[in-house]
Homo-oligomer: A and B are copies of this chain.
Amino acid sequence: MKELDPILHSQLRLAVMSILMNVDEADFVYLKEQTESTAGNLSVQLDKLSTAGYITVTKGFAGKKTRTTCQVTDQGRKAFEEYVEALKGYLNL
């Protein structure tokens, strides 16, 4: 039974990664809406994903407002795929 990457084995972080796997970039507000999370929680979890090297977080502007966009890295993509494979061993898929 393989280990499940603890960085991905968290509902919110997994949801974020799942979105980013399909979308090539997404901003903070969008992720917050899609995941129905609080801003505080999302902020913390994006930090962890970023620190792990699974995503990049870029702060820019949309007009006058700040805009934080996220993208999955190659490392993140790989980790996600490995996580899915490991999980299959648990789910009998």
User: CB within 8 Å of B: which residues of A?
Assistant: 1, 3-4, 6, 9, 11, 14-15, 18, 21-22, 34-36, 84, 87, 89-93
Contacts and interface: CB of A to CB of B under 8 A. Distances in A.
The count of identical subunits is: 2
24 contacts: A1-B15, A1-B18, A1-B34, A1-B35, A1-B36, A3-B11, A4-B11, A4-B14, A6-B11, A9-B9, A9-B11, A14-B90, A15-B90, A18-B89, A18-B90, A18-B91, A18-B92, A21-B92, A22-B92, A84-B91, A84-B93, A87-B87, A87-B91, A93-B93
Contacts of A4: 11, 14
Contacts of A89: 18
